[in-house]
Amino acid sequence: MQLVSLIAIIIAAAVLIIVSSFRILREYERGVVFMLGRFWRVKGPGLIIVLPVIQSMVKVDLRTIVMDIPPQDVISRDNVSVKVNAVLYFRVIDPERAIIQVENFYAATSQLGQTTLRSVLGKHELDEMLAERDKLNTDIQKILDTATDAWGIKVQSVEIKHVDIDGTMVRAIAQQAEAERQRRAKIINADGEFQAAEKLVQAAELISRNPQALQLRYLQTLVSIANERTNTVVFPLPMEMVKPFLDVVKPTPK
């Protein structure tokens, strides 16, 4: 009777060991298998066998991971203090290196993303942070991708979400923008005055070469004055009409 019980226990233990040896990995999962503590192979997806005691397995997800980088205090190159947060997209492309080369690839990537964000943005001025986000995103992504390549990780993209500025700096930026608009308006106005002066000089030169044009302009002026509602009308006289009278009254030298 004891023998039968012992055999039943052995059979039950054997069945339990066999059942526990079977593992099922989904399509996006891989298993990094170690045999007696040494790396053996990467298995999956599907049904795999991991021998108890002798082998152990670490499961790795190959899907794209969305990581939120918390707000970082950044001092720009023009000494402006801002808070910047971003989102990081990455995925494991080599499960073996992701498990063996770094203790916790998720935490390591998060810390590296935070330090790289502060380092890169600290080299740029505030205007560049606000106006050139695409370029900054690309620069950060390239640096992270190069650094995490040894861990078997591919950084797909980095997106800066918010650049928070304190109230005093917001007012200063608004004043700067207003001053820039006024400067552009003055430049446009001065350019218009310059072009108008050029046209007047060209018109004066043309009229000086054609006296008839001066007479026509005189008649146009009279027509314009006649159409206006005014009690006083001043008739401009060309110098050609006044000159003979001036010659008559001019005293003769003694």
Residue 79: pLDDT band (50, 70, 90) is confident
The first and second tokens of residue 11, run together, are: 């059979």
pLDDT for the residue 42: 95
What value does the mean pLDDT take over residues 66-86?
A: 90
Flag whether pLDDT at 237 surpasses 70.
no
Residue 210: pLDDT band (50, 70, 90) is low
Nearest-angstrom CA–CA distance, 136 and 134: 5
Residue 113: pLDDT band (50, 70, 90) is very high
Flag whether pLDDT at 240 surpasses 80.
no
Mark 165-188 as b/e (b = at least 16 C-beta within 10 Å): beeeeeeeeeeeeeeeeeeeeeee
The answer to whether the predicted template modeling score (pTM) of the entire model surpasses 0.75 is no
pLDDT tens digits for range 135-148: 999 999 999 999 99
**Across the chain, how many H-helices and E-strands are there?**
8, 8
Q: Mention every residue, 6+ apart, whose C-beta is less than 8 A from residue 213.
A: 206, 207
pLDDT for the residue 53: 84
pLDDT for the residue 184: 87
